[in-house]
């Protein structure tokens, strides 16, 4: 019976082709770790501004089309200056 060819490290050649290089595996692991830590920090920090939430996730569950704040009393439709 033929034995599979082996590299000097003792790993079969077919297995060696399927495994990514150690540097690539290390980089991907580091990348995943950085994303996980940044997500955890962002989740811990909370929303950017008070009352900020996704549409349709208000306290009453309805979508009110956004909050205009103090801009509601601006005189729209008056094109003149002064």
Reported as a single tens digit per residue, the pLDDT across 58-74 is 555 555 555 555 565 56
Reported as a single tens digit per residue, the pLDDT across 16-56 is 778 889 999 999 999 999 999 999 999 998 887 877 777 76
pLDDT attached to residue 6: 61
Whole-model pTM over 0.75: no
pLDDT attached to residue 65: 54
Helix, strand and coil percent figures for the chain, each rounded to 5: 45, 0, 55
Q: What is the rounded CA–CA span in Å between residue 51 and residue 41?
A: 19
CA dihedral over 36, 40, 41, 47, signed as positive or negative: positive
pLDDT attached to residue 13: 73
């Amino acid at each position: 019976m033929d034995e599979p060819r082996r590299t000097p490290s003792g790993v079969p050649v077919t297995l060696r082709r399927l495994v990514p290089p150690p540097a690539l595996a290390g980089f991907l692991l580091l990348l995943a770790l950085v994303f996980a830590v940044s997500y955890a920090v962002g989740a811990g920090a909370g929303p950017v501004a008070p009352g900020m939430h996704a549409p349709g996730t208000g306290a009453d569950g309805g979508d009110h089309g956004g909050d205009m704040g103090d801009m509601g009393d601006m005189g729209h439709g008056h094109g003149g200056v002064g």
